[in-house]
Amino acid sequence: MNDAVERQSVALSNARGRVMCMDSAYDVAAANTDRDVVVNASYCGVLPARFVGRHRPRGAVGVDCGVGPAGAGIAGLWYLEALRVPAAAADVMSSRLGDGEDLFRRGVISHVNEPAGCCGVERGMSVADAATRMLEVDPVDRAADAIDNREVMLTTESGRAVVCTDSIAFGRPGDEHNVLVTAGHTGRSAVPYLTKVRPFGFICSDGGRGAEDSGIVGLELANALGLAGATVDALGAAMGDGHSTYVDGVISACNELATSAGVRIGMAASDAALLLAQRRADVATINDIDEEKGTR
């Protein structure tokens, strides 16, 4: 362990702990437990995350290595999230692999886990800023239901909001007036949520389609309930991340009501969301729905 400590250098230090730079995740040591943010120039895979996780540092920053097949270059973020360790990955082209000090100096964050987000770490931030926030802010422990990443992206003149949230299950009372942009699939199990929330419009993921197009079967069922909706291609937008649906999403399918509003396959999700928010409600107004209780 002493050897490992010798392979670390101090980038920042205060009463709460330190930001330590090291060339490899293997160099994380017991001395870092509950105290230091470890900036290590390994990839952010599960294997290095196991080295990091066993010592439970205050926070961790690694390198995304281009993310790679099946997200292997950032999979460790989710491992560390389960251990409540804030963790982020830096864009592999922003600094040199295997050089922890260079990562601290020049790295730019590309991916964050939920506890890191709680600390205020965001994509595009410098590694130095991200590590500083991890050192200074304790992530709040939140129940799974409380991690909804809800944000109003825009409000139309008629008062309808386009709201990003990570799952249709996180819909709230009042969302019947809004367009919800979420990131679960649109299979049959999404329908009970859609039925209860009754959003004015929705955009979810197609879940990679699945066998028998089961990932978009909810579109037709929703149409029958008077709900206009569309899906984005799961290959282009991260599932479970409503903001990714909004920013990265490309429409892969839509139901008839959404088509009537001008939504088309191939359109950017943000454009489609605006069209849904501006659509005329003459097919199924909010009042109609309240009266008919979903019997359409």
Partner 1 sequence: MNEASQPADIAPLLDRPEDHPQEEAATHDGCRVMLIDSARYCDERNQGDVVIAASYCGVLPVRLVAPHRPRGVIAHDVGIAADGSGIAGLWYLEALGIPAAATAAESAELGNARDMFDAGTISRVNILAERCGVVPGMPLAEAAALLATRDPGNRDATTKVRRETKQSDGAGHSIVVTDSIVFALEEDAANVLVTAGHTGKTGAVFIEAVSPRGFICADGGPAKNGSGTSGLAALDEAGLPGACYDISTAGMGDAFDAWERGLVSATNQLAARRGVRPGQTVQHAAALLLADTETTANTEPSETWTEWPEGSPWLQSGVVAAVSQKFANGLARVRDVTDADGALTAAQKALFMASAAAVKGHSAMTERELRRAVDGGITLDAVRGAGIAVLISRGEGVFERFRDAAHVVLGPHTFVANQAMRPPVTPTSTDEAFAYFTEYFGFVPPYIELMAAHAPAALDGYVLMRQFALAENLLEARLVELLLCTVNAAEFFARFVDVHAGGARRAGASEAQVVEAVVCAIPVAGVASWLPGADGIAAGVDTVAGSAG
Binders of partner 1 in range 62-81 (CB under 8 A)? 63, 65-81
Residues 6+ apart with CB under 8 A from 139: 84, 86, 114, 115, 116, 118, 119
Q: Which of 148, 200, 228, 270 binds partner 1 (CB under 8 A)?
A: 148
The DSSP string of 4-33 is HHHTEEEEEEETTEEEEEES-GGG--GGGB
Question: Does 172 sit near partner 1 (CB under 8 A)?
Answer: yes
By the 8 A CB rule, do 26 and 51 touch? Answer: yes
By the 8 A CB rule, do 98 and 64 touch? Answer: no
Q: Which helix H or strand E contains 142, and what residues bound it?
A: none
Q: Could you tell me which residues are beta bridge partners of residue 88? A: 61, 112
Nearer to partner 1, 185 or 279 (CB): 185
Nearest in space to 131 (alpha carbons), one of 288, 12, 214: 12
Q: Which helix H or strand E contains 217, and what residues bound it?
A: helix 217-224
Question: Does 53 sit near partner 1 (CB under 8 A)?
Answer: yes
Question: Does 294 sit near partner 1 (CB under 8 A)?
Answer: no
Q: Which stretch binds partner 1 (CB under 8 A): 12-20, 30-38, 49-57, 255-263?
A: 49-57
Q: Which stretch binds partner 1 (CB under 8 A): 28-36, 130-138, 232-240, 283-291?
A: 232-240
Q: Which of 143, 158, 266, 291 binds partner 1 (CB under 8 A)?
A: 143
* Binding residues with partner 1: total (CB under 8 A): 99
Q: Which of 37, 39, 88, 95 binds partner 1 (CB under 8 A)?
A: 95
Q: Which helix H or strand E contains 154, and what residues bound it?
A: strand 151-155
Binders of partner 1 in range 5-24 (CB under 8 A)? 23-24
Q: Which stretch binds partner 1 (CB under 8 A): 9-17, 131-139, 149-157, 254-262?
A: 149-157
Question: Does 33 sit near partner 1 (CB under 8 A)?
Answer: no
Q: Which stretch binds partner 1 (CB under 8 A): 131-139, 144-152, 253-261, 280-288?
A: 144-152
Nearer to partner 1, 147 or 283 (CB): 147
Output the CA torsion sign for 286, 292, 294, 295.
negative
By the 8 A CB rule, do 207 and 184 touch? Answer: yes
Interface mask (CB under 8 A) for partner 1, residues 236-275, using x and -? xxxxxx--x--xx---------------------------
